[in-house]
């Protein structure tokens, strides 16, 4: 797993562009990258850890910290006979974990906004903590289409 997240760098590289008044380009031109959404699927994990609600609380907290995010609230729920869901509300967005210990699988989202967070670091820690032997990772830039800035919105 050493080549995990080769795109990881200390400056996420947010940018801003000039706004356009052309709604036909609403989905083509983007004014601003407001965050990143990492989708992580872990396979062949330690089944005991996937079913340990206390462990999941600790690893979510640690992953938020290493990503440079601010934890506001943490909710977890253990299911009977197995599985845990955890949700960390961050000042910058959220981290969610859903586990299926019976098959050694975890579905994880790490969504952070702002230019000071590094969600890839959180994902790397989670993969390590759950002792995943295999994984799938997608890093999605969350962008505001330029035309949105020109739309009128009543409160």
Catalytic residue among 37, 94, 98, 116: 98
Q: What is the DSSP letter of 32?
A: E
Helical H runs in 16-52?
A: 47-50
CB atoms within 10 A of CB 3: 5
* Catalytic-residue membership of 93: yes
SS3 106: strand
Query: Given its phi and psi angles, is residue 4 left (phi above 0), alpha (psi -120 to 50 degrees) or beta?
Result: beta
Catalytic residue among 93, 116, 123, 136: 93
Catalytic residue among 113, 116, 136, 152: 113
Q: Could you tell me the sign of the dihedral formed by the alpha carbons of 105, 37, 122, 2, in that order?
A: positive
Residues assigned a catalytic role: 93, 98, 113
């Amino acid at each position: 797993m050493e080549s995990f997240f080769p795109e990881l760098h200390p400056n996420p590289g947010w940018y801003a562009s000039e706004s356009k008044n052309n709604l036909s380009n609403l989905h083509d031109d983007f004014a601003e990258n407001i965050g990143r959404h990492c989708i992580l699927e872990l396979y062949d994990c330690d089944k005991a850890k996937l079913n340990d609600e206390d462990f999941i609380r600790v690893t979510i907290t640690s992953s938020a910290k290493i990503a440079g995010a601010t934890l506001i609230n943490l909710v977890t729920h253990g299911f009977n006979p197995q599985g845990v869901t955890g949700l960390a509300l961050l000042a910058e967005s959220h981290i969610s974990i859903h586990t299926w210990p019976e098959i050694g699988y975890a579905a994880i989202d790490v969504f952070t906004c702002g230019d000071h967070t590094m969600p890839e670091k959180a994902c790397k820690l989670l993969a390590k903590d759950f002792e995943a032997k295999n994984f799938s990772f997608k890093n999605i830039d969350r962008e505001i289409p330029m035309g949105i800035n020109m739309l009128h919105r009543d409160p």
